[in-house]
Structure 1
């Protein structure tokens, strides 16, 4: 393979903060590499360095001569007066320069050099350039090519910048979060596009399905070092865990030996012979290993949400429009206890507006929304990221609460809670203004969860969060004893968290689908195939949501109900055995104490499982 880029012993720091130290890696022709790291570890900084937008402390970066590089920034900037189409030609290639020469020639009297320009235009296929630009913009749902850039939203501008990069057909594409602000259809189109293009790729993304399907190699920045994995995201997960297990074993061995050597160091006199000095030097090397951070991948944050009653919310014949755009059209729904719902749909179909109506931020045009008295909302929104820049991270959380209840008398301090969401003790005492964009998102998420809500509403929570944080959040939501609504374009995240979907299809058409996103996508593709093959359309598996038209149990919930029935029967048997034993008068003091403690726990577990069984049976009935 032809080498495109070589990075050797690269170091970058900001003051005392070292992002990475003496890292080396290369990119060759045809390689498709995903870059993974926690927020604040320097992913965007590394991409900026490679694109020449930022300097570095030491090291060497070598590009192949005449290599064409396209870079999609996380937050692109264009002159506001440019039109969408002009912005697509703004960061151009020799072809763009040729088009500009042609336009200048046509505006000059006599059109000097036109014949030569026409030959070059033909040779470079420049006539197709504008058509290709419009084609890609349309796929990214940007259709007003003459609209000025200053009137675009942040998401639209990111898509114009993505089109700009793709149109230039570079040899090496460097993409920073390309799927941010793309809906599901656009993300799948981009997957197909990149898989059919002969282009080398270095990409940062939190979209794990996208990473799995587009990249064949992963590099990870962890603890200032870089690790390479010759496989896709699924392979990376497996091999990373092997690396962590090996590192933890090495640290454990070093700690055992360190205690012995530390004792020797304290005993030995200061005047040491050559052999002793050698052992002393080895001691300091050993100390570095022993004091490394131990990876703990098995921490479970099993937070007990505040009590939530059986009445959650009931929407009754809701209508909402903005001019001709219908958001809700006779929408009715009864939300169940412990329900975990995902909301999907293209941009502009009203997902965020629906959430704002539920939260009371927007008012419906007509209809009623009745929310239960025990419901305590926790709302994570795209607009909610506001902090006092001069506060310390730990103070932001302790202002909300000093501790969070885990249930069974257990508590977690604010500092421990922050550590679970990957804020080290050092970072906790940093000021907010020092945090990266992703770290601020993570802190905002902690402020929502620290209030111990029983109904979480998360509007695009995965944007700008790193993959490690997403894994922590997924585990939290899977064990969360409350209700959840998630609006997200992250397919992997939705598959992990939700039981069923509300599909917003536009103009107030909202359907309920019993399954996760992958189930829905598979069914939709199968439906499209059948519709093409048969004259009559396949029966629609989704149903229009109406008042009192309760949803059916999902496959997962049916399995849960079966397990609950078995658990309840088992607990009833155990309860009777314990009660009989306590009444027998034959138990010794130790057994009597054990059974006396066990009986209330059985009753509590029995009550909890019976309540859940009744809730599921109500849905079923």
Structure 2
């Protein structure tokens, strides 16, 4: 057992986030942690990582186990360079092994300037540096809190592959359902102070949770039936009951004292919008540049009344700029934007606007309106908040008592309650729990207006988008039919059709900088001596697995196991080949002196 936590309790005010829960992590476990915003997911991770103390219970980490933790909002000194921050605290041997990996990961995460000061980075870049530090360091257990936040779609795809190939234990809070489907081996749900464990991935979780809830309902129906029968017996006269019924009376009292299964609140969003005329939003030849760099180039689009558009692209490519052009928050440098008279924008921005922390939750909603019209009639502010999973005691609490995800849910309520007919969503999945996202997706199905969403959440885009706009590095915006999966397939086909780029000719520097003497560390020397044999062994194992697949072509279960083993071996081989290139390059540099 790498990590164990037993009988953990944690209370904030009068609310028990964790109530005597236990949690165990063994080698090879990949656990996805889910739950409503504010349920205690991040608190659980902080306690497991040792950055927060529980009120009761204990966490035990095997003394030889190395643990790395990515918090939701990492904080570190601003005077370090990017590379220094990633490698901070490592000894010489670990540092030598981690530096090559760190450089590779930073490039993958879009932070190529290793000598840049961390203090000069944006919030998203700092978070990606923190993620690189966790992934590059030698560790046995990774604890990740929302690792996909502030990553673009290509980075998310890369991270998925990296975590699938990861050999250690993994515990992560994430709303990315493709991660939960493709990476995790078990799920844990934090709900009302308890932990509910489900073996398997996200698909199995949905199936098994449904079965658990049905079982609980059946048990409650049985309890109620027995209680009714016992009540009828108790109400009979003393003579009919006789004198040998003490045990039966005690059983009745015990049944009556039991707490039945509560009907849990569910988030329900009823589609609301104002009438949208024939003319919506039209962009003609729109161009926008910043500091001499063109981020949107000669873009034209006629927004349809029922459009569902997903916007994708690398970080900094211009996705939010395009959304702000649609919103009218930016004026184009060239081209025209026409907005219909009946258009009523609702803009759910990436950053939650400033909220008065001392203001009560219910007063925030009352600023929109104390009585809000919906398709099902008028709702009071209290009723609307209940639909958004804010119980009465939370409604009368100050906003500063809410978690980050709860504030985003409250902000979403404000945007939707204003009855827009064109919805602009900038990274709507950040910090929202899966239940809220699922209901939002259902809401968008019935929303009678147009929707444009910037998102890195591949599941959300597949679920919602009917066409995708990809903002490319040269400012060109290309359109694709379908959701994210169709866009990715089309892009891959386009890239395959391109002729290979000629290798660039390296220019020799006029004054080469003096270099330190290159040499192997002790571990690198041992690895260099054995890596050829390791590669040959892996290739042999892959060949054997392929032969076994051919021999068991009719055994579906065995084929699944063999296919999973092949993928695991191929990932290990790819990793070894990368190390072989690095070590041989180092050996050649040593020979040259």
TM-score (norm 1): 0.76
1:251 aligns with 2:220: yes
Q: Note if contact 2:231-2:252 (Cα within 8 Å) is conserved in structure 1.
A: no
1:433 aligns with 2:431: no
Q: Out of 413, 436, 442, which is 1:469 matched to? A: 436
Aligned-partner Cα distance in 2 for 1:11–1:264:
42
Distance 1:239 1:529, change over 3 A: farther
Superposed CA offset, 1:46-93 (max 9, x none): 111111111112122222221100001111111111111111122x3x
1:455 aligns with 2:453: no
Q: Note if contact 2:87-2:98 (Cα within 8 Å) is conserved in structure 1.
A: no
Distance 1:11 1:369, change over 3 A: same
What SS does the aligned partner of 1:401 have? coil
Aligned-partner Cα distance in 1 for 2:271–2:175:
25
Q: Note if contact 1:179-1:207 (Cα within 8 Å) is conserved in structure 2.
A: yes
Q: Out of 492, 495, 518, which is 1:528 matched to? A: 495
1:381 aligns with 2:381: no
Distance 1:280 1:395, change over 3 A: farther
Q: Note if contact 2:272-2:417 (Cα within 8 Å) is conserved in structure 1.
A: no
- 1:551 is aligned to none
Q: Out of 165, 171, 191, which is 1:222 matched to? A: 191
Distance 1:258 1:392, change over 3 A: farther
- 1:405 is aligned to 373
1:283 aligns with 2:255: yes
What SS does the aligned partner of 1:494 have? helix
Deviates more, 1:439-448 or 1:50-59: 50-59
Distance apart, 1:497 and its partner CA: 1.2
Distance apart, 1:19 and its partner CA: 0.5
Superposed CA offset, 1:295-345 (max 9, x none): 466x76442421110100111221110123212211111111111111111
Aligned-partner Cα distance in 1 for 2:214–2:371:
31
Q: Note if contact 1:251-1:294 (Cα within 8 Å) is conserved in structure 2.
A: no
Distance 1:533 1:265, change over 3 A: farther
1:318 aligns with 2:286: yes
What SS does the aligned partner of 1:163 have? helix
Aligned-partner Cα distance in 2 for 1:142–1:35:
28
- 2:138 is aligned to 169
- 2:466 is aligned to 499
What SS does the aligned partner of 2:64 have? coil
- 1:30 is aligned to 28
Q: Note if contact 1:320-1:328 (Cα within 8 Å) is conserved in structure 2.
A: yes
Q: Note if contact 1:404-1:452 (Cα within 8 Å) is conserved in structure 2.
A: no
Distance 1:364 1:258, change over 3 A: farther
Superposed CA offset, 1:358-409 (max 9, x none): 22222211222110011111111123432121222222112212343333x6
Deviates more, 1:64-73 or 1:378-387: 378-387
Distance 1:530 1:21, change over 3 A: same
What SS does the aligned partner of 1:502 have? strand
Superposed CA offset, 1:98-150 (max 9, x none): x2xxxxxxxxxxxxxxxxxxxxx4xx6x5343222111111111011111111
Distance 1:311 1:137, change over 3 A: same
Q: Out of 316, 325, 328, which is 1:357 matched to? A: 325
- 2:412 is aligned to 445
- 1:68 is aligned to 66
Count of equivalent residues: 498
- 1:108 is aligned to none
Q: Note if contact 1:136-1:163 (Cα within 8 Å) is conserved in structure 2.
A: yes
Q: Note if contact 1:379-1:456 (Cα within 8 Å) is conserved in structure 2.
A: yes
What SS does the aligned partner of 2:2 have? strand
Aligned-partner Cα distance in 2 for 1:145–1:533:
29
Superposed CA offset, 1:537-564 (max 9, x none): xxxxxxxxxxxxxxxxxxxxxxxxxxxx
TM-score (norm 2): 0.79
Residues 503-518 of structure 1: matches in 2 within 5 Å? 503-518=470-485
Aligned-partner Cα distance in 1 for 2:75–2:471:
31
Aligned-partner Cα distance in 2 for 1:479–1:267:
55
Aligned-partner Cα distance in 2 for 1:260–1:412:
40
Aligned-partner Cα distance in 2 for 1:215–1:492:
16
Q: Note if contact 1:248-1:294 (Cα within 8 Å) is conserved in structure 2.
A: no
Aligned-partner Cα distance in 2 for 1:368–1:261:
76
Residues 606-617 of structure 1: matches in 2 within 5 Å? none
Aligned-partner Cα distance in 1 for 2:492–2:226:
59
Aligned-partner Cα distance in 2 for 1:198–1:179:
20
Aligned-partner Cα distance in 1 for 2:360–2:127:
31
Distance 1:18 1:504, change over 3 A: same
Aligned-partner Cα distance in 2 for 1:258–1:321:
72
Residues 83-98 of structure 1: matches in 2 within 5 Å? 83-90=81-88, 92=89, 96-97=90-91
Residues 98-177 of structure 1: matches in 2 within 5 Å? 99=92, 121=93, 126-177=95-146
Superposed CA offset, 1:512-549 (max 9, x none): 111111111122234434557999xxxxxxxxxxxxxx
Q: Note if contact 2:9-2:19 (Cα within 8 Å) is conserved in structure 1.
A: yes
Q: Note if contact 2:272-2:420 (Cα within 8 Å) is conserved in structure 1.
A: no
Distance 1:530 1:203, change over 3 A: same
Aligned-partner Cα distance in 1 for 2:235–2:39:
37
Alignment gaps of 5+ in structure 2: 239-243, 503-593
Distance 1:136 1:242, change over 3 A: same
What SS does the aligned partner of 2:151 have? coil
Distance apart, 1:39 and its partner CA: 0.7
Q: Out of 224, 235, 247, which is 2:204 matched to? A: 235
Q: Note if contact 1:21-1:225 (Cα within 8 Å) is conserved in structure 2.
A: yes
Alignment gaps of 5+ in structure 1: 100-120, 536-621
- 2:389 is aligned to 422
- 1:394 is aligned to 362
* CA RMSD across the alignment: 2.5
Aligned-partner Cα distance in 2 for 1:389–1:296:
25
Aligned-partner Cα distance in 2 for 1:461–1:267:
60
Q: Note if contact 1:32-1:200 (Cα within 8 Å) is conserved in structure 2.
A: yes
Superposed CA offset, 1:418-439 (max 9, x none): 2232222332222211101111
Distance 1:7 1:267, change over 3 A: farther
- 2:38 is aligned to 40
